[in-house]
């Protein structure tokens, strides 16, 4: 196979492996700010500033995967309720790390 083809394959592979997306970017892409705000940006009825003090990483992950049972547990009754987010694991982890870094 000519070298150029191998090179192109390698580049395609690198791109498809994905340059990791940052937590704030994932937050934006999933439109979390329709219901939540960080630093005053977004829907201030659902402020997430300080959420890293409130929950550990497992609980934050749980909010993304199963918000219905987390809302029950914390007696959150704001409407509309949060729906589950099924993110690829690396994105979920970046987002959880980001949320966890929001401390007051
Ligand atoms: C349709 C509205 C809606 C969307 C979209 C939404 N949420 Fe929520 N979320 C809620 C509601 C309602 C609660 C319950 C607590 C409250 O009243 O803020 C909640 C709670 C949370 C909590 C716990 C907050 C606390 O103080 O107890 C976290 C963390 C959270 N959401 C993160 C996210 C992230 C990250 C996204 C985007 C991936 C997202 N949410 C998208 C409505 C939403």
32 Cβ closer than 6 Å to some ligand 1 atom: yes
- CA torsion sign for 77, 86, 17, 31 is negative
Q: Are 82 and 69 in contact (CB under 8 A)?
A: no
| pLDDT for the residue numbered 68 | 97
Give yes or no for a cis peptide into 11 (omega within 30° of 0). no
| pLDDT for the residue numbered 18 | 63
Q: What atom of ligand 1 comes closest to residue 74's alpha carbon?
A: 27
Choice from 54, 82, 95 to test ligand 1 binding pocket (greatest atom count within 8 A of CB): 82
Domain architecture of the chain: domains with CATH: 3-100 (1.10.760.10)
Identify the three-state secondary structure at position 38.
Answer: strand
| pLDDT for the residue numbered 1 | 65
How many angstroms does the Cα of residue 100 sit away from the middle of ligand 1?
14
82 Cβ closer than 6 Å to some ligand 1 atom: yes
pLDDT truncated to tens, each residue of the chain (104 aa)?
678 888 888 777 766 666 678 999 999 999 999 999 999 999 999 999 999 999 999 999 999 999 999 999 999 999 999 999 999 999 999 999 999 999 99
């Amino acid at each position: 196979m000519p070298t150029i083809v191998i090179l192109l394959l390698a580049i395609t592979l690198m791109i498809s492996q994905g340059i990791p997306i940052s937590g704030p970017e994932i937050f934006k892409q999933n439109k979390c700010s329709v219901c939540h705000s960080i630093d005053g940006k977004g829907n201030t009825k659902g402020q997430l500033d300080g959420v890293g003090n409130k929950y550990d990483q497992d609980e934050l992950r749980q909010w993304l995967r199963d918000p219905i049972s987390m809302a029950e547990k914390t007696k959150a009754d704001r409407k509309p309720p949060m729906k589950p987010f099924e993110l690829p694991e690396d994105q979920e982890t970046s987002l959880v790390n980001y949320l966890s870094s929001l401390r007051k």
